[in-house]
Amino acid sequence: MAKFTEAETTTLKRILYGTWEYIGNDIMQAVQEEGRYDIPREDVIEVVLDADHAQKMVGELKAKALWEKFEKMTYKERIAFCKKHVFPYPRYS
């Protein structure tokens, strides 16, 4: 797994969690329409990693090189990073 400084980790957290904050309400509304009230962390991470909104935040934070470094990690490594640094809880509502 790639190594990130504390500042880089903080920036990645802002990008990834900020993306969840942007798309999370729509996701949770759809989940509630299915009669559920929370989703597993793995689903949250998957939608965040697939969301186009992350690119907007990368641009706003001028973090293109950092995001490229993050994206060079395997998908499994990116999920592990998210679990460790961004989404610590097993379920989200």
Q: pLDDT of 4-16, one tens digit each?
A: 999 999 999 999 9
Q: Which residues contact 83 (CB under 8 A, 6 or more apart)?
A: 41, 45
CA 23 to chain centre: 10
DSSP structure class, residue 92: E
Q: Where are the domains of the chain?
A: 6-92
- Reported as a single tens digit per residue, the pLDDT across 52-83 is 999 999 999 999 999 999 999 999 999 999 99
3-state secondary structure 44-75: HHHHHHHCCHHHHHHHHCCCHHHHHHHHCCCH
What's the pLDDT at 1? 80
- Quote the pLDDT of residue 24: 95
**86 falls in which pLDDT band (50, 70, 90)?**
very high
Exposed/middle/buried for 58, CB within 10 Å: 0-12, 13-18, 19+? buried
- Percentage of the chain exceeding pLDDT 90: 94
